[in-house]
């Protein structure tokens, strides 16, 4: 074999062994998560969660509805809607504390939140919903009174503070502030009556029936025509005690009036010896 043939053969072998260049693979494209994508995903999860609730899959509904809220892209109306179905799911699953929390969050997100009449009348979550609504109304009114009490005289400010504490369930502190208001000297008789009435309420709630009755009786020294409103009079904690106090006070007032109307016997004329 000639030298030329050997060189050619070596060239062919080198070409056969050479590794062909590999083409570079394009980098994978990372999908961009936009607000529109998140908003659409949240809306889809909301609808899915509602369908799961309607199918009786309450635990799955809780997870899906919770996920729909995590994106932060739902409108306030849809947020409160998600919270509503979360509350329903928790109440049906005997988780009243979580049910109450979700109803409260629904109100906080959307002040106009409300159940339909049919939903409101549901025996499982209706009472919880109404309780939360009543509590929030009381808290807002208490907050309003608290802000105005700063402009009042010390006695009236103590009265307002006591009423705020009573409305929020802090009965021991409420009684202390109401008694303080009376000691400071409430000018208006109506305010004195309000203070004594709520002191009586706190005493009855604490099962101090004797003290509660006597406090109710004191009110009649200020306002002989005093009476509780129908809603107050029907409260199970003090209905009986108030009725007893009212009868006792009315009897005392009648006896006092009878003595004042009775003719005074003429003074005896001393006999002359």
Rounded to whole angstroms, how far apart are CA atoms 89 and 60?
10
pLDDT (0 to 100) of residue 254: 87
Residues in Cβ contact with 198 at an 8 Å cutoff, skipping those fewer than 6 apart: 162, 163, 166, 174, 175, 178
Give the CATH fold of the 37-138 domain. Answer: 1.25.40
Q: Is the separation of the CB atoms in 161 and 193 below 8 Å?
A: no
126-159 in b/e form (b: 16+ CB < 10 A) is eebbeebbebeeeeeebeebbeebeeeeebbbbb
Rounded to whole angstroms, how far apart are CA atoms 167 and 85?
29
Rounded to whole angstroms, how far apart are CA atoms 247 and 6?
134
pLDDT (0 to 100) of residue 227: 93
Per-residue pLDDT of the chain (273 residues; tens, 9 = 90+): 555 555 555 555 555 555 555 555 665 555 566 888 888 999 999 999 999 999 999 999 999 999 999 878 888 899 999 999 999 999 999 999 999 999 999 998 888 899 998 998 999 999 999 988 888 888 777 766 666 555 678 999 899 889 888 887 788 999 999 999 999 999 999 999 999 999 999 999 999 999 999 999 999 999 999 998 887 888 888 999 999 999 999 899 888 888 877 666 565 555 655
Across 25-72, the runs of DSSP E, i.e. the strands, are: none
Helix, strand, coil abundance in the chain, percent, nearest 5: 70, 0, 30
Given this chain, do its domains 37-138 and 152-258 carry the same CATH topology?
A: yes
Gyration radius of the chain over CA positions: 39
Q: Is the separation of the CB atoms in 204 and 175 below 8 Å?
A: no
Q: Where are the domains of the chain?
A: 37-138, 152-258
pLDDT (0 to 100) of residue 15: 57
Residues in Cβ contact with 68 at an 8 Å cutoff, skipping those fewer than 6 apart: 42, 43, 45, 46, 49, 74, 82
Q: Give the number of residues written for the chain.
A: 273
Rounded to whole angstroms, how far apart are CA atoms 250 and 243?
11
Give the CATH fold of the 152-258 domain. Answer: 1.25.40
């Amino acid at each position: 074999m000639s030298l030329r043939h050997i060189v050619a053969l070596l060239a062919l072998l080198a070409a056969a062994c050479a590794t062909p260049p590999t083409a570079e693979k394009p980098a994978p494209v990372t999908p961009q998560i936009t607000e529109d994508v998140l908003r659409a995903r949240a809306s889809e999860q909301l609808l899915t969660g509602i369908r799961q609730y309607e199918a009786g899959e309450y635990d799955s509904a809780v997870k899906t509805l919770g996920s729909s809220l995590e994106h932060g892209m739902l409108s306030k109306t849809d947020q409160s809607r998600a919270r509503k179905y979360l509350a329903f799911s928790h109440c049906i699953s005997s988780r009243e504390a979580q049910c109450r929390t979700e109803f409260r969050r629904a109100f906080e997100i959307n002040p106009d939140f409300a159940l339909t009449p049919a939903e409101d009348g549901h025996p499982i979550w209706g009472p919880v919903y109404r309780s939360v609504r009543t509590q929030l109304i009381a808290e807002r009114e208490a907050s309003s009174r608290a802000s105005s009490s700063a402009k009042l005289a010390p006695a009236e400010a103590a009265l307002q503070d006591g009423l705020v504490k009573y409305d929020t369930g802090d009965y021991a502190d409420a009684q202390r502030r109401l008694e303080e208001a009376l000691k400071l000297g409430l000018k208006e008789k109506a305010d004195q009556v309000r203070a004594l009435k709520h002191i009586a309420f706190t005493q009855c709630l604490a099962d101090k029936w004797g003290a509660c009755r006597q406090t109710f009786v004191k009110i009649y020294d200020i306002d002989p025509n005093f009476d509780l409103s129908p809603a107050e009079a029907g409260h199970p904690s003090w209905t009986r005690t108030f009725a007893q106090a009212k009868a006792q006070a009315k009897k005392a007032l009648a006896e006092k009036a009878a003595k004042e109307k009775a003719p005074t016997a003429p003074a005896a004329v001393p006999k002359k010896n």
